[in-house]
Amino acid sequence: MTKYSDRTQLELRKFADAVATLEEAAGEDETRIARDSLLLRYVFTFETAWQAMRQVLADRGDDETARVAFSTLETAFKVGMIRDAALWDELCKARNSVVHAYDEEEAIALAALVRTKGLPALQHLLAELKAGDD
């Protein structure tokens, strides 16, 4: 595989930094402030994830000019970049829930989802994307 473009490498660095801050937030004891931090960092990390995927797809020539997360995720699934479409759909909906509707019960459930499913999926994606630049 060819090396990633400079733009893609930049997007991957931003994604890696976002994952690192999400890991840090996930390691904090759960308080309301820590949970809010975790959820906001999750939103940011999810955003950098799909943007990194979009750039990798462009480098591979698989980009369908996707400019929104859903289309990028759909293309990434079609080409095998992500394997669990249902999980990524759930993660996308969680991102939208954080942004559009906030209440205490939902925040607790979303934080649990981020810790148990979201962070591992993002870590795995980062490793896969970095491995593609070898």
Domain range enclosing 116: 6-131
If one counts the domains in the chain, the total is 1
- 53: tokens are 């995927």
Per the domain annotation, does 75 fall within a domain?
yes
| Residue written as token pair 């950098």 | 48
In a domain, 77, yes or no: yes
Residue 21 lies in a domain: yes
Nearest-angstrom CA–CA distance, 39 and 36? 5
User: Has residue 125 been placed in a domain?
Assistant: yes
Domain assignment present for 46: yes
Each residue's pLDDT tens digit, 14-66 = 999 999 999 999 999 989 999 999 999 999 999 999 999 999 998 888 766 56
Residue 47 in domain: yes
Q: Binning pLDDT at 50, 70 and 90, where does residue 69 land?
A: confident
Q: Which of 31-40, 101-110, 111-120, 122-131 has the lowest mean pLDDT?
A: 101-110
The reply to whether 1 falls in a domain is no
| Alpha carbon separation from 49 to 26, 52, 89, 103, 105 (Å, rounded) | 17, 5, 13, 25, 26
CATH of the domain at 108: 1.20.120.330
